Amino acid sequence: MTDTLLKETQEKMDGAIRALETQLSGIRTGKASPALVENIQVTYYGAPTRIRDLANISTPEARLLVISPYDPTVLGEIERAILGANIGVTPVSDGRVVRVPIPELSEERRKEMTKVASRMAEDAKISARNVRRDANEACKALQKDSTISEDEQHQMLDRIQKITDKTIEKIDAALKAKEAEVLAV
């Protein structure tokens, strides 16, 4: 019972880290990355669909994304979706592909991006703390039901706290890496 609780807690905290990494990959840096546009939603035959499901995204140059849709009729929608995402880029279509030149980030924009990344990291930490709170409550309920002893409860609470501490360290490391990437000129 206790091992299951610890395993679920670890999985949920790992999920918070994965979610943060996915969000951070969408933050614009000075270089082209398919992650910048791949999760942008495009209306395709009335259904919201991610660009990565509609097109091949490549980076032939350090500052250029090329989006080659499988269905050329969706070119205009992809352009509108990228503009609507407000990520600071202007797509250009030639009738077959959408080219997205990635301009150099200004110092002000770089600082703004690091603030966005910090907010995302803080949200991930809140998520991890919520998982910890739920796990602690479940642990206390087990002790209250006499499923585990008081000593086992204290050991469990310590292990849950250690999992939380490691998760927050990983979140901080991911944030620090992204900030360094964004601030690199």
Mean pLDDT of 117-124: 93
Would you state the pLDDT for residue 185?
A: 64
Band of residue 53 on the pLDDT scale cut at 50, 70, 90: very high
Residue 38's pLDDT band (cuts 50, 70, 90): confident
Q: Model pTM greater than 0.75?
A: no
- The reported pLDDT for the residue numbered 102 is 84
Topology, domain 2-25+106-183: Topoisomerase I; Chain A, domain 4 (1.10.132)
Mean pLDDT computed over 108-112: 83
Task: Give, in order, the Cα–Cα distances in Å from 68 to each of 28, 91, 93, 115.
Answer: 20, 12, 10, 32
pLDDT, residue 15, reads 94
What CATH number was assigned to the domain covering residues 34-101? 3.30.1360.40
Range with lowest mean pLDDT among 122-131, 161-170, 174-183: 174-183
Q: Tell whether the model's pLDDT for residue 25 goes beyond 90.
A: no
- What are the residue ranges of CATH 3.30.1360.40 in the chain? 34-101
Location of each CATH 1.10.132.20 domain in the chain: 2-25+106-183
For residues 183, 64, 54, 46, the Cα torsion angle rounded to the nearest 10 degrees is 80
